[in-house]
Amino acid sequence: MSICRLCNGSMVVGDGNAMFSGECSHSFHFNCIVTYANLGNKDCPVCRAVWKNIPSNGPAPNPYSGPAPYGPPPPPIWNWEFKPQTPSSEPLIFNDDDQLDIQSRNFSPNNNSIIRSLNIKTHTEFPAVPRSSSQENFHILVNLKSHVSDSCRAPIDLVTVLDVSYSMEGRKLQLLKQAMGFVIENLGPSDRLSIITFSTNARRLFPLLLMTDSGKIRALEAVNSLAVISETNIVEGLKKGAKVIEDRAHKNPVCSIMLLSDGQDSFTKTINIKEISRLQIPVHTFGFGADHDPVMLHSIAVGSKGTFSFLEDEGIIQDAFAQRIGGLFSVAVQDVKVHIQSLDPNLCVSQLKAGGYSTDLTGDKKTGSVDIGDLYAGEERDFLVLLNVPVVADGNSNDPMKLVSVRCSYKNPFTKESVTTEAVEVKLRRPEMVANEDMVVSIEVDRQKNRLQAAEAMSNSRAAAERGDLPRARSIINSCMMQMEDTVSMHAHDEVSVCLASDLEGVQQRMQTPSMYAATGRAHLFAGMSSHLTQKAAARGNSTDCIYQTAPMMNMVQLSRASRPNSSPTDSTHKNSQQEGALCRDLIDFTSSLV
For the segment 428-442, what is each residue's pLDDT rounded down to a tens digit?
999 989 988 888 899
Q: How far apart are CA 524 and CA 376, in angstroms?
A: 24
pLDDT tens per residue across span 185-242: 999 999 999 999 999 999 999 999 999 999 999 999 999 999 998 889 999 999 999 9
Task: Name the DSSP class of 166.
Answer: G
Q: Which residue has the higher pLDDT, 267 or 414?
A: 267
What pLDDT sits at residue 80? 39
Share of the chain above pLDDT 70, in %: 82
CB 180 within 8 A of CB 205: no
Q: Is pLDDT at 589 greater than 90 in this prediction?
A: no
CB 548 within 8 A of CB 531: yes
pLDDT class for 266, splitting at 50, 70, 90?
confident
Q: How far apart are CA 379 and CA 535, in angstroms?
A: 9
Is the full-model pTM beyond 0.85?
no
Distance of CA 105 to the CA centre of its chain: 26
545: left (phi over 0), alpha (psi -120 to 50) or beta: beta
What pLDDT sits at residue 52? 76
What pLDDT sits at residue 109? 46
Residue among 241, 239, 234 nearest 288 (CA): 234
Q: Which residue has the higher pLDDT, 27 or 410?
A: 410
What pLDDT sits at residue 15? 58
Bridge partners of residue 29, in order along the sequence: 19
Q: Which residue has the higher pLDDT, 444 or 71?
A: 444
535: left (phi over 0), alpha (psi -120 to 50) or beta: left
Q: Is pLDDT at 325 greater than 60 in this prediction?
A: yes
Residue among 424, 410, 408, 250 nearest 332 (CA): 410
Residue among 357, 409, 410 nearest 384 (CA): 357
What pLDDT sits at residue 327? 95
Q: Is pLDDT at 573 greater than 50 in this prediction?
A: no
Q: How far apart are CA 124 and CA 141, in angstroms?
A: 6
Task: Give the Cβ contact number of residue 138 at 10 Å.
Answer: 19
> Nearest-5° angle of CA 196, CA 247, CA 86?
35
The total number of residues shown for the chain amounts to 595
Q: Is pLDDT at 82 greater than 60 in this prediction?
A: no
SS (H, E, C) 234-300: HHHHHHHHHHHHHHCCCCCCEEEEEEEECCCCCCCCCCCHHHHHHCCCCEEEEEECCCCCHHHHHHH
- Grouping H, G, I as helix, E, B as strand and the rest as coil, residue 416 is coil
Task: Give the Cβ contact number of residue 39 at 10 Å.
Answer: 10
Phi, psi at 35, each rounded to 5°: -60, -40
pLDDT class for 420, splitting at 50, 70, 90?
very high
How far does the chain reach from its first CA to its final CA, in angstroms?
61
Task: Give the Cβ contact number of residue 592 at 10 Å.
Answer: 10
Q: How far apart are CA 315 and CA 220, in angstroms?
A: 20
Amino acid identity for residue 517 in this structure: Y
CB 587 within 8 A of CB 498: yes
pLDDT class for 269, splitting at 50, 70, 90?
confident
- Grouping H, G, I as helix, E, B as strand and the rest as coil, residue 341 is strand
List Cβ neighbours of 76 (8 Å cut-off, separation of 6 or more).
6, 7, 32, 35, 36
Q: Is pLDDT at 476 greater than 70 in this prediction?
A: yes
Q: How far apart are CA 118 and CA 148, in angstroms?
A: 9
pLDDT class for 67, splitting at 50, 70, 90?
very low
CA diameter of the chain:
101
Across 52-61, 457-466, 542-551, least confident range: 52-61
Q: Is pLDDT at 110 greater than 70 in this prediction?
A: no
Task: Name the DSSP class of 518.
Answer: I
Q: How far apart are CA 565 and CA 23, in angstroms?
A: 8
Q: Write down the mean pLDDT value for the chain.
A: 84
Can you state the angle between helices 572-592 and 495-509, rounded to 10 degrees? 110
Bridge partners of residue 160, in order along the sequence: 195, 258
List Cβ neighbours of 207 (8 Å cut-off, separation of 6 or more).
85, 94, 96, 97, 98, 194, 244
pLDDT tens per residue across span 118-163: 999 999 999 999 999 999 999 999 999 998 766 678 899 999 999 9
Q: How far apart are CA 543 and CA 563, in angstroms?
A: 17
CB 338 within 8 A of CB 408: yes
CB 434 within 8 A of CB 129: yes
Phi, psi at 151, each rounded to 5°: -75, -10
Q: How far apart are CA 439 and CA 115, in angstroms?
A: 40
List Cβ neighbours of 138 (8 Å cut-off, separation of 6 or more).
124, 125, 126, 129, 386, 387, 388, 389
CB 227 within 8 A of CB 208: no
Phi, psi at 476, each rounded to 5°: -65, -45
CB 109 within 8 A of CB 148: no
